[in-house]
Structure 1
Amino acid sequence: MSGLALREYQEDSLNGLREGFAAGHGPQVLYLPTGGGKTEVAISMLKAAADKGHRAAMVLDRRVLCDQTSGRLDKYSIDHGVLMAGHWRRHTHKSIQICSAQTLEKMGSFPNLKLLIVDEAHNTRRSIVEFIKNNEAVKVVGLSASPFTKGLGGIYSNVVSRTTTAQLVEMGSLAPLRVFVCKQVDMSDAKKVAGEWSDKEAGERGIKISGDVVSEWIKKTHEVFGGPRKTIVFCAGVAHGQDLSAKFKEAGYNFVSISYKDSEQTKKAIFDEFAKPDSTITGLIATDILTKGFDCPDVMIGVSARPFSKSFSSHVQQLGRPMRPFPGKEFALWLDHSGNYLRFKDDWESLYHEGCHELRDDAEKPKKEPTSEEKEAAKCGNCGELWGPDRDVCQHCGATRPKRNKVIAVPGQLEEIKIGKKPYGGNRIDLWNEVCSIVRQKGNKPGRAYYLYKELVGKEPPRRFEDTPTVDVSREIANLVKSKDIRFAKSRRASR
């Protein structure tokens, strides 16, 4: 396996899968953030199975992804076949097979298969689900950076999560995002299908702000980078993508819109050109084509122009595209015209810091829309960059955040916080940071922070103790904690 060396967290992930199978679990999901190296982990599993004399296959739902994975196996000098219609590498006798979902559907069976790896397991295809349920002797591992689809828990009995996006950013394996909240597509009173806004509805409304998408991109790319940088734009459909492409061209920039209507050869040619360091294409515009398996690490900007009401999985996949690491890439920009970042911010913060440890049917449901006041409070009023939880000076324009009181700047935590009968001037993150800072100063255990916070607010903390920064503690909170400590000490003395 020339050149393939797994990182510590990848090895740990494999150990987690082994432990799960040893404990009697059936099919398992391996959660790794986008950019976490799922393909390398999959290749390691395929090779290990083949070395033991077993047949192993990896199923992917697009031709281009099959070709990409086959190319990666070639990189590591691993012999394999590709089960895909018309493919030159259809060597069915090989122990390792890269298989298109469509081909597996037509086959119906896979004799002597011992290991099946399902790429993008959150995209559940009925035929693949039936294959898994009808072949219980086959060990199945589903790979996903967003395992939130309803019904996954009925297919997979366990999820292994051994690293987080925050950890990958900290070690330099992913680039952090700087988020700007821009003029948004107005989805008020828009029709929904199964709880989600339709592409047609989102596209028609998105076209109304195409000019704003272009002007904001021009402004930010010059302010931050001094000129154009490679960009991907997530649109709501073919017409929306074509409209955006035309508007960018009118402004003098080559943004190419691609869709399911384009042939595989056309899309491949566009991707190959875009991947060049000196590409003639500044930006790509598409819907889900750029959401799954697209890998171009020198992309510096992501533009979200397709609003989602409940599709957190799609939002996570999109965020991951510009976060790929690249030499000299300290961060990537995310220009949010969809409202998705604020809509899903609470879920994203949890996933970012904690990973995914259970498969829940209610993980994706329509989100309550932040009010206009909450949206304004979440961003710098001067330039639109999202405020960080522990930042009061905008890193983009230097503006100072106005004193916050009742409006909380974190969606999902936008309620007024009261401690007893008095309103607290910050948000849940602020309060949790202060409580953790006090506990650190006193040398108490993290559990003390948990119970103290829950006693104050009546809810569990918004994130792990380890993920909180040390901050200045307000006199209000310091005095409150001190009084609780005094009462606690008195009660212990009285009970002796």
Structure 2
Amino acid sequence: MQNNLILRGYQDESLDGLRQGFAAGHRSQMLYLPTGGGKTEVAISMLAAAADKGHRAAMVMDRRVLCDQTSQRLEKYNIDHGVLMAGHWRYQTHKSIQICSAQTLEKRGSFPNLKLLIVDEAHNTRAQTAEFIKNNPSIKVVGLSASPFTRGLGGIYSNVVSTTTTEALVNAGSLAPLRVFICKEIDMTGAKKVGGEWSSADAGQRGIRITGDIVSEWIKKTFEMFGGPRKTIAFSANVAHGQDLAEKFKQAGFNFVSISYKDDEATKAAIFAEFAKPDSTIHGLIATDILTKGFDCPDVMIGISARPFTKSFSSHVQQLGRTMRSFPGKDFALWIDHSGNFLRFKDDWEALYYNGVHELDDGAEKPKREPTKEEKEAAKCHKCGELWGPKDVCQHCGAIRIRRNAVIAVAGAMEEIKIGKTVFDGNKTDLWNQICTIVKARGNKPGRAFHLYQDLTGRKPPKRFEDAIDVPVSSIIKNEIMRRNIAFAKGRSA
């Protein structure tokens, strides 16, 4: 049934991991793959395998355009299927494989003889879809997500399979590396919050105040780094902010188009089609939410972040993923941050980038501590604004970083200490205190802290366990210790 559907090594490992999970009694599982990891190809392979065995299988998504895109992908591989969506020309309910909208599935309430259900963008939890999964215990379920951090996912999916990382895909050339510039930020001091996130109205009003800075920074960076305009997507604070941005870009001589929920599907489809052309007349698209899922345009070179989040790490990851898809001649993706999100979620992003996902409902959607003014300044090059890497020489302008101990919570010079595949931004005493804090919280013996520190650094701890103080523990340390514990447990069970 399949035509030229060849999976990569980690994609085959993902299928093996899911099979093992089902065999172990996990009926509903989450498959994590980074943006660009080929989740749709893995899903298609599962759908085809189920149909080959004579079973019914379905993939559900919450937007019509995503149903159409997935159907087209199945056609590419010559896989027969129906589309369970009102008014669709492929509405053929007798087919073994069905692509269906969440709304249609929820209205039906049942799906006779269904053996496998795949939920796309599973971090967007729909109450009725979760209820459908709960009420149909005979159906095996696989959720797909590049950002499975939504609170409560652990109550729907009892196992998570993660076989590759963003770092691995960047190293393999499947994703483009990011170059991040921290620019003038939307000031959200004192802004109202709704449901834990900043009010859209407040964010929009404050975003409009720096629209001129956003436009001028884009002009400066795009000419400086590419010699001229390159395809761009911008995430605005709200619809009014997006429209204001489009107008200011127009005044500067550039064609940016603002799209929103107010536009009909035909209008948006026509805009997307024009933007996808290699010689598109559109320099950039601006939206609040629409571009965060189901939008794939690999030759996008620049992302503008102008929608501040206080807790939605999932949305931040989805936005970054829109710019990181690989494309011939694309050596890197440029990320221009006016929202403060990159520093706000830096620890979580680095943990995800290097380690992947190994547990659900980990609290990542809780409001984040706002970096201080000093921390924000210390995180970027004082001359050009690019985010500092592990070295003290800016890769963009060549400026030398001056280490300032005042921004370090624990006294002592900042050192380059490699933790797994990233660099710990602190010093030996700070690292030892964090490890001891974890060991104490878990009720482990002091020897556990000694061995962890030595395992992570290859050195002996700087002082006694009894002299360590309790300090906040960074996500980098938490995730690296968790990763090593998982690897140790797998080694024992092998």
Q: Which residue of 2 aligns with 1:439?
A: none
Q: Which residue of 1 aligns with 2:225?
A: 224
Query: Does 2:185 match 1:184?
Result: yes
- Residue 195 of structure 1: how far off its partner (Å): 1.2
Q: How big is each residue's C-alpha offset from its partner over 1:290-335, in whole Å with a ceiling of 9 and x where there is no partner?
A: 0011100000000000000000000000001100000011100000
- Residue 431 of structure 1: how far off its partner (Å): 4.0
- Residue 446 of structure 1: how far off its partner (Å): 8.4
- Residue 447 of structure 1: how far off its partner (Å): 6.9
| Inter-partner Cα distance in structure 1 for 2:195 and 2:357 | 24
Residues matched between the structures, number: 447
State the secondary structure of the residue aligned to 1:82: strand
Q: Which residue of 2 aligns with 1:36?
A: 37
Query: Does 2:408 match 1:402?
Result: no
Query: Quick check: 359-368 or 451-460, which moved more?
Result: 451-460
Q: How big is each residue's C-alpha offset from its partner over 1:191-249, in whole Å with a ceiling of 9 and x where there is no partner?
A: 11121112122111111111110000000000000100000000122111101100100
Query: Does 2:153 match 1:152?
Result: yes
State the secondary structure of the residue aligned to 2:41: helix
- Residue 464 of structure 1: how far off its partner (Å): 4.3
Structure 1 counterpart of 2:117, one-letter code: L
Q: Which residue of 1 aligns with 2:435?
A: none
Q: Which residue, out of 425, 428, 431, partners 1:429?
A: 425
| Inter-partner Cα distance in structure 2 for 1:225 and 1:361 | 39
| Inter-partner Cα distance in structure 1 for 2:150 and 2:197 | 13
Q: Which residue of 2 aligns with 1:71?
A: 72
Q: Which residue of 2 aligns with 1:411?
A: none
Structure 1 counterpart of 2:454, one-letter code: R
Structure 2 counterpart of 1:258, one-letter code: I
Q: Cα gap change, 1:453/1:315 in structure 2, threshold over 3 Å: closer, same or farther?
A: farther
- Residue 336 of structure 1: how far off its partner (Å): 0.2
Structure 2 counterpart of 1:44, one-letter code: S
CA contact (8 A) 1:406 1:417 kept: no
CA contact (8 A) 2:414 2:427 kept: no
Q: Write out aligned runs for 1:170-209 (5 A).
A: 170-209=171-210
Q: Cα gap change, 1:52/1:220 in structure 2, threshold over 3 Å: closer, same or farther?
A: same
What TM-score do you get using the length of structure 2 for normalisation? Answer: 0.87
Structure 1 counterpart of 2:110, one-letter code: S
What TM-score do you get using the length of structure 1 for normalisation? Answer: 0.86
Structure 1 counterpart of 2:414, one-letter code: G
CA contact (8 A) 2:82 2:98 kept: yes
Q: Write out aligned runs for 1:99-118 (5 A).
A: 99-118=100-119
Q: Write out aligned runs for 1:297-316 (5 A).
A: 297-316=298-317
Structure 2 counterpart of 1:406, one-letter code: A
Q: Which residue of 1 aligns with 2:363?
A: 362
CA contact (8 A) 1:406 1:426 kept: no
Q: Cα gap change, 1:97/1:320 in structure 2, threshold over 3 Å: closer, same or farther?
A: same
CA contact (8 A) 2:344 2:368 kept: yes
| Inter-partner Cα distance in structure 2 for 1:247 and 1:18 | 53
| Inter-partner Cα distance in structure 2 for 1:455 and 1:449 | 14
Structure 2 counterpart of 1:78, one-letter code: I
Q: Write out aligned runs for 1:270-349 (5 A).
A: 270-349=271-350
CA contact (8 A) 1:406 1:425 kept: no
State the secondary structure of the residue aligned to 1:393: coil
Structure 2 counterpart of 1:197, one-letter code: W
Q: Which residue of 2 aligns with 1:17?
A: 18
- Residue 108 of structure 1: how far off its partner (Å): 1.1
Q: Which residue of 2 aligns with 1:59?
A: 60
Q: Cα gap change, 1:162/1:455 in structure 2, threshold over 3 Å: closer, same or farther?
A: farther
What is the root-mean-square deviation in Å for CA atoms of aligned residues? 2.2
| Inter-partner Cα distance in structure 1 for 2:362 and 2:182 | 30
- Residue 81 of structure 1: how far off its partner (Å): 0.4
Q: Which residue of 2 aligns with 1:449?
A: 455
Query: Does 2:9 match 1:8?
Result: yes
Structure 2 counterpart of 1:397, one-letter code: C
| Inter-partner Cα distance in structure 2 for 1:226 and 1:425 | 37
CA contact (8 A) 2:454 2:461 kept: no
Q: Cα gap change, 1:454/1:279 in structure 2, threshold over 3 Å: closer, same or farther?
A: farther
- Residue 449 of structure 1: how far off its partner (Å): 3.3
Q: Which residue of 2 aligns with 1:380?
A: 381
| Inter-partner Cα distance in structure 1 for 2:368 and 2:160 | 25
CA contact (8 A) 1:405 1:426 kept: no
Q: Which residue of 2 aligns with 1:392?
A: 392
Q: How big is each residue's C-alpha offset from its partner over 1:102-139, in whole Å with a ceiling of 9 and x where there is no partner?
A: 11111111111000000000101111011000000000
Q: How big is each residue's C-alpha offset from its partner over 1:141-175, in whole Å with a ceiling of 9 and x where there is no partner?
A: 00001111111111111111111101111111100
Structure 2 counterpart of 1:393, one-letter code: V
Q: Which residue of 1 aligns with 2:438?
A: none
| Inter-partner Cα distance in structure 2 for 1:98 and 1:285 | 29
- Residue 425 of structure 1: how far off its partner (Å): 3.3
CA contact (8 A) 2:311 2:364 kept: no
| Inter-partner Cα distance in structure 1 for 2:266 and 2:84 | 19
Unaligned runs of 5+ in 1: 409-415, 436-444, 468-496
| Inter-partner Cα distance in structure 1 for 2:460 and 2:66 | 47
Query: Quick check: 395-404 or 132-141, which moved more?
Result: 395-404
